[in-house]
Structure 1
Amino acid sequence: MNYYTRKLGFYAAALWAALTLNFLIPRMLPGNPVDILLAKLQQRGGQVSADTRRAYELLLGGDSTQPLIVQYWNYLVNIFHGDLGVSVTYFPAPVTEVIASSLPWTIMLVGIATVLAFIIGVALGAFVGWKPGTWVDSLIPATTLLAAVPYFWLALIFIYILSTTLSVFPSQGGYDVVLDPGWNWEFIRSALFYGFLPALTIVIASLGGWLLGMRNMMVSTLSEDYILTARAKGLAEGRILRDYAARNAVLPSIAGFAISLGFVVSGSVVTEQVFSYPGIGAKLLSAVTNNDYALMQGLFLFITIAVLGANLIVDLFYGLIDPRTRVRS
């Protein structure tokens, strides 16, 4: 119990530190979102006054006349009330609405692609590592080469071949624009069809890392004494592979997988931009381009919570499957 208490305390402190940095960093950047909105208002012929500036500051959840510590306290209170401010880029939409409209797209695309890449990579890595030195093992450099290829380059190759040349898949968008979004089969089928190429890009680009990592861990695990003991007992090769070698070799990959799942909510900025996919990555790029501090803070908050949550789950899970971690801690 002491192990879990320390873990929860550590992640609570990490969350507080992340919230503090999330508050300070945007205020240290040049530019001001209020000035951006006032400039847009002036371009439309509106009159800008001190009262107008004050109203926009309150609307965006800030007040430059207050001390920094008071702003920080108000920031924490607003977060715990679910108020992340108003987006400048998508004004007057609240940040929570902007994130809520994009988060499902990113989770479905990047989440499913990450899970598929992990399962396929770990399975292939276990198989290749079980028989090192075979012709299959010689194919590993090709997969690592794909892992080193930039996402946008691989995405452009797929667009050229499968969209432009063969016209098999659409080159951009998240669904057929003639359809109304909803939980019906026609829309879901369209979303799956439009998301195939972005998902394929992510899977192929990240497959090599999982495969190589699992392969190397398998080779290392095969030299352990318990593998030799299992073989000496006459256990079936399939059981040794599944219950002894792969089970222990996959532990580091599980930690990396959890971290990858934490970053799922951040989206794949480059991939989403190339395919014009309506996910979190595209929203994050728009927020940075337009100095939309409220939206940046909201997105970074979601990413931070997801990453910390994923790491916490892995730490607690490790404590269950490997009691040695509790003893050392």
Structure 2
Amino acid sequence: MRFLGKKLMFYAVALLAALSLNFLIPRLAPGNPVDAVLARQSSMAPVSPEARHSLELLLGVNDRPLWQQYFAYLGQIFTGDLGRSVTFFPAPVGDIIGQALPWTLGLVGVATVVSFTLGISLGALAGWFRRGVVDSLVAGSTMLAAIPYFWLALAALYFLSAGLGWFPLGLGYDVEIEPGWSGEFVGNVVYHALLPALTIVVSSLAGWLLGMRNMMVSTLAEDYVVTAQAKGLSLRRVMVTYAARNAVLPSVSGVAVSLGFVVGGAIVTEAVFSYPGIGFTLLQAVRNSDYPLMQGIFLIITLAVLGANLLVDLLYAVIDPRVRTTAKAGAR
């Protein structure tokens, strides 16, 4: 219990620091969101001082002292008020993120889980059966990982979509289909997501495979694995229960951090395929100097990464008995 309390205290301090940076950075940046909104509507008649003041209140721009703005900002965060988007004005930032986040979680989240599962499975087999058929895949996957990701995505789009016509050219679904939970719409969404997901899996598979393979080779030399083999335990039990369970520990922390960054989307992927996720939305916010939207997206990413790291710390105590022993010794 004391171990959990220390972890929660650490992450609470980290969250406060992240919220503070998220508050300060947009306010230190040049420009004004009110000017950005008015610039996007330059064809309109000049805005009166009263209308400008109303716009400033709507976007949260004021001349109050910084510390007062900070506490007001914290109050808004805990009530779920992330401000108004400049790019999609006057839509609330929370609504924009809420519309884009499911697309990213569905695409990048599933692709990351598939890549991790496939990578550690092949890596475990490659490490156990060295110089075998699976082990020969390491060189090929490493070569694919060395290819710049944007080039891989563009090449897949050019050859498989524009050339062969196997996949659509982009977007999240065909615009003529009405969104909903109908089988036609869901099937069309999956069809549009196949090629972006495939490029994510291909580009990230090598990292999981190579890391698991090297850890597996290192673990096979440990005394507990040699002892298990000497006892005559089955090959499958030694490989899975003794070798792979310990070799996967570094990869577990890596995938948790990766899943934390999933909410940020794969910006290059979503930009190349015009996929309507968080990454594509963040790119639009940067292009339009939409600081409220950028601030909201960074906050969501921060919360996801901190939550993923906390989950890893707790998961380690379940997977690795040494962590439980250390925690109990510290509690004494």
| Distance in 1, Cα, partners of 2:321 & 2:16 | 29
Report the Cα offset of residue 44 of structure 1.
2.5
Count of residue pairs the alignment pairs up: 327
Q: Which residue of 1 aligns with 2:88?
A: 90
- Say if 2:122 and 2:134, in contact at 8 Å, map to a contact too: no
Q: Which residue of 1 aligns with 2:197?
A: 199
Q: Which residue of 2 aligns with 1:188?
A: 186
- Say if 1:146 and 1:204, in contact at 8 Å, map to a contact too: yes
- Cα deviations by residue, 1:266-288 (Å, 9 ceiling, x for unpaired): 00001101001011001001111
- Say if 1:99 and 1:299, in contact at 8 Å, map to a contact too: yes
Matches within 5 A, 1:282-321: 282-321=280-319
Q: Which residue of 2 aligns with 1:51?
A: 50
Report the Cα offset of residue 62 of structure 1.
2.9
Q: Which residue of 2 aligns with 1:24?
A: 24
Report the Cα offset of residue 61 of structure 1.
2.1
Q: Structure 1: which amino acid aligns with 2:213?
A: R
| Distance in 2, Cα, partners of 1:204 & 1:39 | 42
TM-score by structure 2 length? 0.96
For residue 205 of structure 1, give the secondary structure of its aligned residue in structure 2.
Answer: helix
Q: Which residue of the other structure, out of 108, 127, 130, is the alignment partner of 1:129?
A: 127
Report the Cα offset of residue 225 of structure 1.
0.3
Q: Which residue of 1 aligns with 2:166?
A: 168
| Distance in 1, Cα, partners of 2:90 & 2:3 | 46
Q: Which residue of 2 aligns with 1:14?
A: 14
Q: Structure 2: which amino acid aligns with 1:58?
A: L
Higher mean alpha-carbon deviation, 45-54 vs 268-277, is at 45-54
Q: Structure 2: which amino acid aligns with 1:306?
A: A
| Distance in 1, Cα, partners of 2:98 & 2:148 | 29
- Cα deviations by residue, 1:229-279 (Å, 9 ceiling, x for unpaired): 011101111111111111111111111011110000000001101001011
Report the Cα offset of residue 313 of structure 1.
0.7
Report the Cα offset of residue 201 of structure 1.
0.5
- Cα deviations by residue, 1:108-155 (Å, 9 ceiling, x for unpaired): 000000000000000000000002233542331221121222221111
For residue 263 of structure 2, give the secondary structure of its aligned residue in structure 1.
Answer: helix
- Say if 1:214 and 1:250, in contact at 8 Å, map to a contact too: yes
| Distance in 1, Cα, partners of 2:229 & 2:307 | 39
Q: Which residue of 1 aligns with 2:60?
A: 61
Q: Which residue of 1 aligns with 2:256?
A: 258
| Distance in 2, Cα, partners of 1:76 & 1:320 | 34
Q: Which residue of 2 aligns with 1:116?
A: 114
- Say if 2:22 and 2:298, in contact at 8 Å, map to a contact too: yes
| Distance in 1, Cα, partners of 2:29 & 2:302 | 20
Tell me, which stretches of 5 or more residues in structure 1 are unaligned? none
Higher mean alpha-carbon deviation, 29-38 vs 9-18, is at 29-38
Q: Structure 1: which amino acid aligns with 2:55?
A: Y
Q: Structure 1: which amino acid aligns with 2:116?
A: F
- Say if 2:173 and 2:189, in contact at 8 Å, map to a contact too: yes
Q: Structure 2: which amino acid aligns with 1:10?
A: F
- Say if 1:62 and 1:71, in contact at 8 Å, map to a contact too: no
For residue 178 of structure 1, give the secondary structure of its aligned residue in structure 2.
Answer: coil
| Distance in 2, Cα, partners of 1:156 & 1:321 | 40
Higher mean alpha-carbon deviation, 247-256 vs 50-59, is at 50-59
| Distance in 2, Cα, partners of 1:135 & 1:200 | 23
Q: Which residue of 2 aligns with 1:104?
A: 102
| Distance in 2, Cα, partners of 1:77 & 1:222 | 53
| Distance in 1, Cα, partners of 2:111 & 2:98 | 20
Percentage of identical aligned residues:
60
Q: Which residue of 1 aligns with 2:330?
A: none
For residue 136 of structure 2, give the secondary structure of its aligned residue in structure 1.
Answer: helix
TM-score by structure 1 length? 0.97
| Distance in 1, Cα, partners of 2:194 & 2:263 | 18
Q: Structure 2: which amino acid aligns with 1:253?
A: S
Q: Which residue of 1 aligns with 2:211?
A: 213
| Distance in 2, Cα, partners of 1:95 & 1:136 | 47
| Distance in 2, Cα, partners of 1:147 & 1:53 | 51
- Taking a change above 3 Å as real, the CA distance of residues 102 and 181 of structure 1, as seen in their structure-2 partners, is same
| Distance in 2, Cα, partners of 1:310 & 1:40 | 38
Q: Which residue of 2 aligns with 1:2?
A: 2
| Distance in 2, Cα, partners of 1:139 & 1:103 | 34
- Cα deviations by residue, 1:14-73 (Å, 9 ceiling, x for unpaired): 0000000000011111221111112234x222222332332111101231x100011111
Q: Which residue of 1 aligns with 2:241?
A: 243
- Say if 2:125 and 2:134, in contact at 8 Å, map to a contact too: no
